[in-house]
Chain A
Amino acid sequence: MTDPNMTDKPMTDPPAGPPAGLDREALAAASRAPAYRKVRRAEAIPGGTPTEKAPDPSLGGDPIAKERYTSTDFMRLEWERMWTKVWLLGGLESDVTEPGDYICTEIGRESVLLVRQKDGAMRAFYNVCLHRGNRLRAEGASSAASFKCQYHHWEYEIDGSFKRIPDLDTFPQGAPPCRGLVELPCDTWGGFVWFSLDKSVGPLREFLEPMPLHLDPYNFTKMALTRDITVEWECNWKASVDAFNESYHVQGIHPQLLYYLHDLDIQIDCYERHNRYLIPFGVVSPRVRKPPSIPDPIKTIMKGAGMDPADYDEPIENIRRDVQKQKRKVGPSQGKDYSRLNDDQLTDDYHYLIFPNVTLNAHADDLMLFRQRPHPTDPNRMFYDIWTLELVPDGQERPPRPRHQRFAYGDKSIGLVLDQDAQNLPGVQAGMQSKAFEGLWVGSQELRIRHFHKVLDDYVQGPGGA
């Protein structure tokens, strides 16, 4: 590491060890993380989400090489060895309830149709006509009696088999020797449809392990989509995954959240591929002074639980506990089944990364899911999908499905917090290209980032590869 403060000084025989001109003790004294009292954590409940801390993996302290964010070579390897080998989130089961309902989703250069069959199963096909390679359908969810190519009207059944090839008798070689559209593995879990570009991929459940055990208690199938947005971001998809994989940036770009959550008392758990952290909500960060009144963001949490902040006379530090108690009490009468969730899940953010690209903010009453997709050709661009799902109380009708919105970064707000993230990322991507930047210098608050890149490396370079 070069000390930028030294550039004006004569560079003769740089000493081994800490560079001269930098007082490490003063730096440490000025930079210490604040002390804090740990929040109370709930015990796991039987059949509920595990709460125990997973042992931290030993992943060392080396910088994470930056080329993976910027190089097209790495992008190619990532495609060949990772994207085409894993299970990928394709869409919501609620979009494909009837035979013929389909989701057309894109990943990298590929486009895939996820189609509900007459027998209720889901099947996935490359969204490509076997005649001249035309895409059969545009991205989005819809319904089809058959898939007819708009170019020469080659037509496929919803199970992918050829239905009609106009003037087939003019093809001396006959129809292609396959049965129809090229099929891919497809399965469902958690109210979501998953597919893989690897025909010999293992079972979805195995890949997701142990996510179903963790997330089934939320019962996402009882939640309805209320927001469906895709934003084009000027950064590598991993810069976005990284941004949501640590809480260290809260004090940097989300100062308002310091009056909403505990950004330091974070339980990080890394599993085989996937990871999570548990962030206490409804508390004031130890980084800021105790405010004279209940912060507005915490009032919102209280109101969500049917509590009146104006009628609350307890110290602010009791709010999280009292919201948990209140939700437990009123949940059943509101038609909300929290029976498989522990108390912390009634307030906190159980935040998961399902490798490679699905970020889930799981809450008792909603799920905020981000899907981070690479650009087909440019490592400096990505697609950021936001799906917000909200619990539909028993006895209430599901709200109508929102229209999918797609826009470029900056054209529309996606909410203050996400705008703050979005605003930051192009600068990260640009800065990483600099000669002065060698790699990511990540700390223990960013352990999930290290873990994510280790899992990625295992795919791209082979386990233990360098």
Chain B
Amino acid sequence: MDLGLRGKRAIVTGSTKGIGRAIVELLAAEGCDIGLCARSEDEVADAVRDLKARGVTVSGGAVNVRDAEAYKAWLDRTVEELGGCDIFVPNVSAGGGMDSEKNWWKCFEVDVLHTVRGCEQLMPQLEKSGHGSIVIIGSTNALETFYAPMAYNAMKAALLTYSKQLSQFIGRKNIRVNTVSPGPIYFEGGAWEMIKSTNQKMHDATLKAMPNGRFGTPEEIARAVAFLASPAASIITGANLVADNGFTKRVQY
């Protein structure tokens, strides 16, 4: 099946490591031009260099998406360098934590606002595309009780509502909006690698909840994202694709 991604221009935030990195690697392999960002300049430079080797146009920037002005400026610059935008994947997350009320503000600003700001900023480009596609990154933590009532879980839930309603709101512009909700994903340098050392009980209990006895991989999430992002998924909008190895137990009607 040809996904029809060749020549599409994809902007993915937080894309030098983990799930974000796997997404840009796959989209680049499928022939997309790539706009990527992360906070570390060195990491961005490395990722840009590696992706360029795939023969696509790659634009990278070091930006903290919490800084609204800097973030929007980076989006504008990237659109200019890529000559437009067909696909947007707001992937950056503040992650879990229950240290203080600040976790709520941080998750709100990073997970929610960076997604909303990105969608709004790129809306004209996505509309111009003719098959604009937004893939929001959720989490199974929003779908079932997980560990503790963290801001991260609730803010990911907010994104689900936003994603669905945005899909209705802009459907007439031929922009599709979907969410991929990954379950626990293990990768080198990822949260679960650390948790395996710092909280082995939690790691083992989580692993045990996977019917097939393994964590998911960033590459598996990237394939789900690439499909929804592609014209091949033209009929799918407003969906929440749970990509979790069977980690969640609820029935999806």
A→B interface (CB under 8 Å): 255-256, 258-259, 288-293, 295-297, 299, 303, 308-311, 313, 315
Contact = CB atoms under 8 A, between A and B. Distances in A.
23 contacts: A256-B197, A256-B198, A256-B199, A256-B200, A258-B197, A288-B194, A289-B188, A289-B193, A291-B193, A291-B194, A292-B95, A297-B198, A299-B97, A303-B99, A308-B99, A308-B100, A308-B102, A309-B97, A310-B99, A310-B103, A310-B106, A311-B106, A313-B66
Contact of B199 (A288, A290, A296): A296
A297 B194 CA distance: 11
Contacts of B196: 255
A295 B99 contact: no
A406 to B, nearest CB: 28
Contact of A293 (B97, B100, B188): B97
B31 interface: no
Contact of B189 (A290, A308, A313): A290
Nearest to B99: A310
Most chain A CB neighbours (cut-off 10 Å) among B102, B189, B190, B197: B197
B122 to A, nearest CB: 25
B191 A313 contact: no
Contact of B191 (A288, A292, A297, A309): A292
Nearest to A291: B194
B240 interface: no
Contacts, number: 59
A259 B106 contact: no
B64 interface: yes
B189 A292 contact: yes
Interface string B2-31: 000000000000000110000000000000
A259 B191 CA distance: 12
Nearest to A302: B99
Contacts of A308: 99-100, 102
A156 B159 CA distance: 79
Given A299-B99, A309-B99, A310-B99, A292 B17 contact: yes
Contact of A310 (B66, B97, B189): B97
Contacts of A292: 17-18, 95, 189-191, 194
A292 B190 CA distance: 6
B150 to A, nearest CB: 11
Contacts of A259: 194, 197-198
A302 B194 CA distance: 18
B198 A296 contact: yes
B166 to A, nearest CB: 27
B144 to A, nearest CB: 22
Contacts of B171: none
B96 interface: yes
Nearest to B107: A310
A105 B17 CA distance: 57
Nearest to A284: B194
A255 B197 contact: yes
B65 to A, nearest CB: 12
Nearest to B95: A293
A259 B96 CA distance: 17
Given A255-B196, A292-B95, 20 more contacts: A259-B198, A288-B193, A288-B194, A289-B189, A291-B189, A292-B17, A293-B95, A293-B191, A295-B194, A296-B198, A297-B198, A299-B97, A308-B99, A308-B100, A310-B100, A310-B103, A311-B100, A311-B102, A313-B64, A313-B66
B232 to A, nearest CB: 31
Contacts of B97: 293, 299, 309-310
Contacts of B96: 293
Contacts of B64: 313
Contacts of A288: 193-194, 197
Interface string B188-226: 111101101111100000000000000000000000000
A293 B40 CA distance: 14
Interface in B152-194: 188-191, 193-194
A261 to B, nearest CB: 12
A311 B100 CA distance: 9
Contacts of B190: 292
Contacts of B40: 315
A288 B192 CA distance: 13
B199 A310 contact: no
A295 B189 CA distance: 12
Interface in B217-245: none
A290 B90 CA distance: 22
A433 B102 CA distance: 55
A308 B189 CA distance: 23
B193 A295 contact: no
A291 to B, nearest CB: 4
A303 B100 CA distance: 10
Nearest to A416: B200
A292 B197 CA distance: 14
A315 to B, nearest CB: 8
Which 7 interchain pairs have the tightest Cβ spacing?
A: A310-B102, A289-B189, A255-B197, A310-B99, A291-B194, A310-B103, A311-B102
A337 B235 CA distance: 67
Nearest to B194: A291
Contacts of B100: 308, 310-311
A291 B189 CA distance: 5
Contacts of A290: 189
Most chain A CB neighbours (cut-off 10 Å) among B17, B66, B102, B194: B194
Contacts of A311: 100, 102, 106
Contacts of A255: 196-197
A309 B100 CA distance: 8
A303 B40 CA distance: 26
